[in-house]
Amino acid sequence: MKVTTQLEYGLCCIVALARLQVGDPASASDIAQSEKLPRQYVEKLLCRLKRSGIVRSVRGAKGGYLLARHPSELTVRDICDALDGGAYKLICEEESMRTKRCIPVSADGRCSLRFVWTELGSVINSYLGTVTVDALLSDGSCHTGKETPYQRPCTAGV
Amino acid sequence: MKVTTQLEYGLCCIVALARLQVGDPASASDIAQSEKLPRQYVEKLLCRLKRSGIVRSVRGAKGGYLLARHPSELTVRDICDALDGGAYKLICEEESMRTKRCIPVSADGRCSLRFVWTELGSVINSYLGTVTVDALLSDGSCHTGKETPYQRPCTAGV
DNA sequence: CCATACCCGACTATTTTTGTCAAGTTTTGC
DNA sequence: GCAAAACTTGACAAAAATAGTCGGGTATGG
């Protein structure tokens, strides 16, 4: 399980956009260049980010992209949702997994595993939802370097 | 980002083993059959789980596998660590990413993204460390179906 | 001694991810 | 109006990761 470069790049682009948050739009080429990323791939990502309303675009010469929302209103989760169709995908929702394993297994009353993956998804999304792009701009200042313990809300006897 | 079938299968095998926790070992074939998984793949996974000390093996006829620890002493995190080399891998640690992006970027004082991914890793590992195999045995009982909010330990001004 | 079952590295196949291409549309500046 | 800049898009190609197989080896109980 790991973050895809897609997410990394996408987030990168957003942060870059947020940095040069001035009046006029930044072109895909500008962003690609400043972040040292492949231009056409950046275009593709921005396109998806646009469809999800994370960025706005201005067409034509002098056009480019702009953040659609204020960085403080934009979380890493939003970006993940836009790009990957969510930061986290449940394994049980894959066709092959459902037909080959989960259905027969849960007919057995057995798929006790699912809840771990579901809950893990919640934990991930929930965390990513707390990180705003704004926070990413103030470089490193929020990076404690220390453990971030998971605090189970209500463990036993639920 | 998603859980690999490797983890799913591995966890499955462990749970199966825990279920038939009797005196004598269960063979890879037995486990594979009962969980409807490819036998040779199961063998491979068990082999890795063995190297990490999650299961023990008994060779020869009537041999097989046994849990090395009590289910209550075994967390999903342990299993992930054994199989994938951790449930979560940091993107910055990939060679290509380091040489192509992170290093030049942080020379710019820019890799403010890293802390999100690092912290995400903590959150994931931390959560998985709270789930014991034992808890998985009592099928569904701990599955609330509801959101599991992330509780940030100390947000602002750290 | 032989059937069972673990052990293990090398290999193949499949799927996912990453990245490119080419053709099209919109807009600005001259 | 026309050319250049820049977004839009789907199809395609390349690369990487994952999943799964094969074949031989080794240990052991009966």
Per DSSP, the three-state class of B67 is: strand
Neighbours of B123 (CB within 10 A): 24
CB contact under 8 A, B1 and A5: no
Contacts of A123 in chain B (CB under 8 A): 123-124, 127, 148, 150
For residue A156, is it within any domain?
Answer: no
Query: What's the CA gap between A54 and A7, in Å, rounded?
Result: 14
CB contact under 8 A, B113 and A8: yes
For residue B31, is it within any domain?
Answer: yes
Q: What is the pLDDT of residue B122?
A: 92
Q: What is the pLDDT of residue B93?
A: 63
For residue B108, is it within any domain?
Answer: yes
Positions in chain A short of pLDDT 50: 107-109, 140-147, 154-158
Q: How do beta strands A64-67 and A55-58 pair?
A: antiparallel
Give the one of A1, A97, A148 whose C-beta lies nearest to B87's C-beta.
A1
For residue A37, is it within any domain?
Answer: yes
CB contact under 8 A, B8 and A91: yes
Domain assignment of residue B14, given as a range: 5-137
B95 touches strand C (CB under 7 A): no
Contact A21, A14 (CB under 8 A): no
Q: What is the pLDDT of residue B154?
A: 44
Query: What's the CA gap between B131 and B11, in Å, rounded?
Result: 12
Q: What is the mean pLDDT of residues B67-93?
A: 85
- Strand D bases near protein CB (under 7 Å) are 3-11, 16-23, 26-30
pLDDT digits (tens, 9 = 90+) for B3-29: 888 999 999 999 999 987 677 899 999
Query: What's the CA gap between B93 and B49, in Å, rounded?
Result: 24
What residues 80-139 of chain B have any CB closer than 8 A to a CB of chain A? 84, 87-91, 97, 100-101, 104-105, 109-110, 112-120, 122-124, 126-131, 136-139
Query: What's the CA gap between A81 and A89, in Å, rounded?
Result: 10
How far from B142 is each of A5, A90, B138, CA to CA, in Å? Answer: 34, 18, 8
pLDDT confidence of B2, banded at 50, 70, 90? confident
- Strand C bases near protein CB (under 7 Å) are 3-10, 15-22, 25-29
For residue A142, is it within any domain?
Answer: no
Minimum Cα–Cα distance from B83: chain A residue: A1
The domain tally of chain B equals 1
* Cβ burial, residue A49 (10 Å; 0-12/13-18/19+): buried
Provide the phi-psi class of A27: left if phi over 0, else alpha when psi is between -120 and 50, else beta: beta
Q: Is the dihedral of CA B113, B119, B123, B128 positive or negative?
A: positive
pLDDT digits (tens, 9 = 90+) for B139-154: 544 444 444 555 555 4
Minimum Cα–Cα distance from A111: chain B residue: B139
How far from A73 is each of A15, A65, B30, B44, CA to CA, in Å? Answer: 13, 17, 53, 47
Q: What is the pLDDT of residue B84?
A: 74
Determine the nucleotide nearest to B3 by Cα–C1' distance.
Answer: D18
pLDDT digits (tens, 9 = 90+) for B100-141: 665 445 444 446 678 888 899 999 999 999 999 999 887 544
For residue B45, is it within any domain?
Answer: yes
For residue B24, is it within any domain?
Answer: yes
CATH of the domain at B99: 1.10.10.10
